[in-house]
Structure formats: C-alpha cells, structure tokens
Chains A and B, each alone.
Chain A
Amino acid sequence: MANTFAFAELRAGSARKVAFETVTAARAAADATGGGEVHALVLGGPGASAAAAQLARYGADLVQVVEHPALALGNPEVFAATAAARIKAGGYRAGFFPASAQGRDLAPRVAAALDLPLASDVTGFEITGDALIARHPAYIGKAVATLRLAATPALVSLRPGAITPVEQPRAGRVEMVEPALDPAQARVVVTAVTDRGAAKLDLGEAPVVVSGGRGLKAAENFRLVEELAAAFGNAAVGATRAVTDDGWRPSTDQIGQTGRMVSPALYVAVGISGAIQHLAGMRTARVIVAINRDKDAPIFKVADYGIVGDLFEVVPRLTEAVRKAREEH
C-alpha cells in the first residue's frame, strides 16, 4: 500500500480541469498499489482551500493547502519548493503534475530539486513492481515511446486531456500548510496574468476545434472559420503555421509540430493541405473533417469525412447547417 501525490493547478482561484486529471491519475496509481491515500497540493491566494471539495470528488483523501496573498497569480519558485518539500516528506510511490504551461515549468524543477527523473508529457501509465511504465509521444507525435522510470517516487507530468477525470469521492480533509519558501524571497515574480478573452475556449480543452490554413487566402477571411466555430458553440479556433507565420493569426493559435497539440472530439480543417508539421498537432483528434479544393491534399488521407470544393462556398453552407442542427437538438 502506498500513498500518491497530485499537484492541483488553479487559475484565478478555481481548480483547472488538469487538476482533476492529476488527482484521477494519483487515485488510479494508489489503487493499483494496494489502495493508499491520494494527497493533493493546492497553492494560491486567500480562498484557495475552496478547491478542496472539488478535488475530493475526484478521489483526494487529503488536500494540503497553502494560502498566501502573494500567491494569487502563482509563484514558480514557491510552488516548486513547496511541492518538493511535500513530496520529500510524504514518502509517496508516485507524484503527478499536469504538463500544462505551469506544470511544464514546475515538474522538472521539483524533479531536479529531489534528484529524481521525470517522465514528462505522459498519455498513459501503469505501475509494475519497482518501475512505472509510461507512454509518451516522441518525435512530435510521430512515434510513441514506452518509458521505464526506475525511481521512487516516480514523478510524472500528464499531457492535458489524456486522462479522463473520474468522480470517485473521498473525504478530502483539508490541512493548511506553510509555503516551503517565503514568497518575499522568490526571485521570479509573476506580475500579471492577462486573459486573452475570457469567453474564448482554450484550444487544448475545447471539444471542437475549427482551424484555417492558407486556403483562406487572406486574414479577413478567417471570419468564415470563426463563424463556423461559433455555430458549434463549443469550438476553439486554430490555425496552421503558415498562417501564424504570416501574422494572420497570433502564434498562440498555431496547431502543429511547433505549436499546440490538440485531441478534440471533432477537428474541422478548413483550407488546410495537411503538411506533416500540422498533422503532428491534430492527428489524435477523434473525428477529422477536411474541406479543401485539392482532392489530392494530404489532409484527405487522415480525414474521416472530406469535402472537395471551394471553401468559400462550402463553409458558409456548413455553418448554416450546423446552426440549424444544433437548434433542432
């Protein structure tokens, strides 16, 4: 029997979906090794402890909470020092972080501070005897590595969206703890977190992603992509590298080898030829729809449903049909 650790990420005082994913993974790891406890760590400003009840729902037995006015926006050095101290004191079999923007910074530093290896950006795992076996996309998603992590605790960062949160309520008793580093001593200070549009769904979390490529011909034609996304109601807008390089869209919208990796339930590629660099970022989508005028475009090799045609005719019709379909249901 062994306890496990989960880092629970907050944004603006609320638990992010990735927090439920790390707790779910820690629950699975604890249950697979004889049913130990899951200890979640939350750091934030005053009121951060409110996240504890949500984490309990996904299987946290104990939620350790650090509340400090200087931590409301996050503080990488205080977070890393505190996570390292809790893991060191806890005698855990495994520790889980999200491979989110925050977690990709935090997890390697915690690992180095504890002199432990880290399996990063993991999409699945199991614990067998003294090793943790993890799956990790390598070569930008063009290969899958099965990794062997020979260390205890086994530290893992999980690719957002790879683990489905499962509700399995536990007590979630709250323990207030002190930060392991005085926030006044931190050298790196977060001075602002600016939302890029509160209503906008994040590419990594949206169930539907509608993306546009060079086939749109001009920046202003992205309106067609945005209208289609709006018709779905639960869609984020992405773009190819060619489009973000040309400044039609911000670089944060880029999907592909050097941009975001997404696995939505539905991916709609509009005017995208399907360069390998782009496919690397979206080929794990459950369903792919492609609209392109060139029937030989590589995107049609991966598209479950392809329409060959002029996107300027097809997309407005599709937008209208999606809107109608959603009104009917």
Chain B
Amino acid sequence: MKIAVCIKRVPDTEMRFAIAANRTSIDPAGLKFDLSDFDGYAVEVALRLVEKQPPGEVVAITLGPDAAQETLRKALSMGVDRGIHLAAAEVPFDGLAIARALAAELKEGGYDLILFGRMATDSGNGTVGPMTAELLGLPCVNAVSGLELAEGRGTAQRELEGATETVSFPLPAVLTIDEGIARPRLPSLKGIMSAKKKPVESRPAALGPVRLTVDVLELPKERAAGRIIGEGPDAVPELIRLLREEAKVL
C-alpha cells in the first residue's frame, strides 16, 4: 500500500506570539515551529496501516518555505519513508491555491490513500484536504475518528454534533484525520538518526491563483480581568446572586 500524508509546518501556538509589523501575519521571531497537531495523527495512521499490512510506502508531502523541510524530517524520524517538499516562499491563506499544487503533485503518484490532518492549527481553515480530493476526483471522508481497511474498501467513523457517522468508501481515497484516532509516536533516537539519510526531493509548488487573502490579523479582545469572589463553599450564595443579578444567566 502506498500512502501520502500531506503535512504543514506551523508555529507552536502554545507559545505567546505577537502580530508582525505588516499586521497580516504573526511575528515569527522567537517562535518554535512543528508539525501541525492533526497532521501528527495522520502520520501515525499511515504508519500503522503499513505496519499492519506490509509491504508499503509512506510519503510525506509539505508545501512551504525551505524551513518546512525540518517538518518533513520530523515525519521521517517517526518512520515515514521519504519526503517531498513543494517550495513556496509563503503558504497562501487560500486553501484552493494550496490544493491545486498538492493535486498536481499527487495526481500521478499512484497512492492508495492520501491523508491530511483535519485542519492546520495556524490558518484554522480545514479546507485543503476535501478540496484536493475534489480536484483529484477521489472519494473523500473528512474528520475521520476511526478507520478499518479491507479488500480495497474502507469503513470510517466521523463525529457529528451529538452523533457518530459510519461511512463506507472505495480506495483510492482522501481522508482527513481527527484527533484521538491514534496518538502520534515520538521519534526514537534511531528514527532521528535514520531520518537524516532518507530522501527528500524539493521542487517549486504549482500554486493556483490566490483569491482569499488576509487584510488584517489582530489579537482578540482581551476579556476583562478575572475576579475571585470568594473562598470555599461559603462563596456559593454570592456566586448565585451574581449569576442571577449581574450576569443574568440563571
């Protein structure tokens, strides 16, 4: 089985950050970058599928600046076989522009499965996976939380609001992976060493036209400073009064 995993290099959003002087992006100074959260789950799913049913190959593909190759190395150190870097000085905000470049790369790849994380934690769009599927004319299941493959078909679970959906689909297919399906492994020392020797190709990304852009990026309005109203169970009556009379939510 041949599996492609499309991954993105994103800033670590657990850290504090500032808006850049151009007011349309964040200031990269001092930020750490890593594999986007959900993409880690997609890598793990791909590795487990091939481990369960060898032989197979897992190829990680990323689009971005040269530094995105570090993210490919992270995937390689987890066990991915090789990497493809689609070089672009900046990753556009327009998901369709990205999907065009990925579809062009994936089209002739002969992949049985193409995986994405269900969204990148920087742009927060979650559009590139389904768009790439549509451009490739492939079946797509979005935000997969459970997966079984057998005899050229797959069964997947998706979490809806208050319900779980089960879908059946043929391979090849595009899946976007939700959290919780399989906790991503940490790279082993051996994995980190061998990743250095694994092949990574780089070529320019064939981006589509960009028609969705960021005018302004701002920090959200801060909440009013918090207030501690009391200690222990004796503070409960005051809380009830405030919820009723001040906040009017009770």
List the interface of chain A (C-beta within 8 A of B): 11, 16, 73-74, 76-77, 80, 100-102, 104-105, 107-109, 111-113, 115-121, 133, 136-151, 160, 187-197, 200-205, 208, 244-245, 251-252, 254, 257-259, 265-266, 275-277, 280, 283-284, 286-290, 295, 299-310, 313-314, 317-318, 321-322, 325-326
Interface residue B150 (Cβ < 8 Å from any Cβ of A) = no
Are A188 and B19 touching (Cβ within 8 A)? no
Partner of A100, one of B155, B161, B212, B240: B161
By a CB distance below 8 angstroms, the chain A residues around B14 are 275-277
Query: When the two chains form their complex, are residues B167 and A194 in contact, meaning their CB atoms are under 8 A apart?
Result: no
Known contacts A77-B139, A300-B226, A120 near B95 by CB under 8 Å:
yes
B217-240 vs A, CB cutoff 8 Å, 1 = contact: the mask equals 111100111111111110111011
How many residues from B make CB contacts under 8 Å with A? 86
The 4 residue pairs across chains A and B that have the minimum distance between CB atoms: A251-B180, A112-B134, A105-B142, A309-B232
Q: Are B163 and A287 in contact (CB under 8 A)?
A: no
Query: In the complex, are the beta carbons of A258 and B217 less than 8 A apart?
Result: no
Q: Does B158 contact A (CB under 8 A)?
A: yes
Contact B122 A138 (CB under 8 A): yes
CA distance A147 to B93 in the complex (A): 9
Q: Are A139 and B216 in contact (CB under 8 A)?
A: no
Residue B37, interface by CB 8 Å:
yes
A118: contacting residue among B95, B213, B220, B250, CB under 8 A: B95
Q: Find out whether the CB atom of A306 lies under 8 angstroms from the CB atom of B232.
A: no
Q: Do A265 and B249 form a contact, CB below 8 Å, given A137-B124, A146-B215, A148-B212?
A: yes
B236, A150: Cβ atoms under 8 Å?
Answer: no
Cα A325 to Cα B244 in complex, Å, equals 9
B130 on the interface (CB 8 Å rule)? yes
- Do A187 and B127 touch (CB < 8 A)? no
User: Given A147-B215, A192-B165, A193-B165, are A302 and B226 also a contact pair (CB < 8 Å)?
Assistant: yes
B58 at the interface (CB under 8 A from A): no
Q: How many angstroms from the CA of A308 to the CA of B142 in the assembled complex?
A: 42
Q: Please name all residues of chain A whose beta carbon is closer than 8 Å to the beta carbon of B239 when the two chains form the complex.
A: 289, 305, 307, 318, 321
Are A309 and B127 in contact (CB-based, < 8 A)?
no
Q: Is the CB of B231 within 8 A of A308?
A: yes
Instruction: Knowing A139-B13, A252-B159, A307-B236, say if A188 contacts B214 (CB, 8 Å).
Output: no
Partner of B124, one of A118, A138, A283, A318: A138
Given contacts A287-B249, A306-B226, 11 further A-B contacts (CB under 8 A): A108-B95, A112-B132, A140-B124, A146-B215, A147-B212, A147-B214, A188-B141, A254-B180, A313-B233, A322-B240, A326-B250
Q: Are A258 and B123 in contact (CB under 8 A)?
A: no
